[in-house]
Structure 1
């Protein structure tokens, strides 16, 4: 059996292994640059600004994409369907809900105007956005009993199931295969 060899002082040292944090450095700088480009695109301005001017810059499409497609949740229980729509910054008077031809249509429009004057600075912003979502009505909804409420920017629509629709549901036993 031989003894383990220890390197002699005259043998050349092997190159050090690369440090893990430097392996990702090119990708990190690429990501940083892409983030900067996207931020500038959405800001609508190619050069960065600072201070009050930065806060006052109009942002292209701000709220437009959110307004075009409000976040919706649809939950089914044994007795009803519950639809919730997040509409931040809106009031019930800004929203229209209609039911026609087995389609539930949600429309809304948001108007915002802001004016700010300080010494050497005047800001005047107007933003308008509207949205419309049309959802097919689930089968078996009792159309005469549909209700809606609006609280703190959240629209809740209750679509009760007709009694015959709730009773028509049957659980089927699944037998193990042979």
Structure 2
């Protein structure tokens, strides 16, 4: 019996391994392709940055109404959560592929020790959530004049 040789592709093996892991943790033990759009897991993309005065988290939340987004802080953890609903208004429409994520999401961020949880602000503009976390005043560096006698 003659076996055909194929080129080894480590990325393909890694993808296969990842898919096996994801299927193992799927409570229904089936591919996500077979799930309804409302039950797929997704997580919004975020940028986290810092300047001298504050930390900033920017999250992409397209097609999510402001009312469906929550920002909470508890025990040093900031949580952004919400839900993007799938609505198919046209019942005659057949969907061949649904790749955008729908359903509930939650992203958690441990606040740095110099963050002030009482000074957190959030604004929602054009599907983008901007969270600003002010740093504590006592954590900011201060210059002290040293007198030489």
Distance across 1 between alignment mates of 2:127 and 2:115 = 25
Aligned position for 2:58:
84
Distance across 2 between alignment mates of 1:128 and 1:75 = 27
Cα 1:128–1:82 change in 2 (3 A) is closer
My pick for the range that moved more, 86-95 or 108-117, is 108-117
Paired residues in the alignment total: 110
Q: Of 75, 90, 108, which aligns to 1:101?
A: 75
* Structure 2 segments unaligned to the other structure (5+ residues): 1-5, 8-30, 96-100, 144-149
Alignment of 1:137 onto 2:125: no
> Which has the larger Rg?
1
Bigger share in helix: 1
TM-score between both structures, scaled by the size of structure 1: 0.52
Distance across 2 between alignment mates of 1:77 and 1:95 = 25
* Structure 1 segments unaligned to the other structure (5+ residues): 1-25, 28-40, 45-58, 170-178
Contact 1:87 1:153 (C-alpha < 8 Å) held by counterparts? yes
TM-score between both structures, scaled by the size of structure 2: 0.62
Over the aligned positions, Cα root-mean-square deviation in angstroms equals 3.0
- What is the CA-CA distance between 1:113 and the residue it aligns to? 1.6
Greater relative CO (CA pairs within 8 A, separation 6+): 2
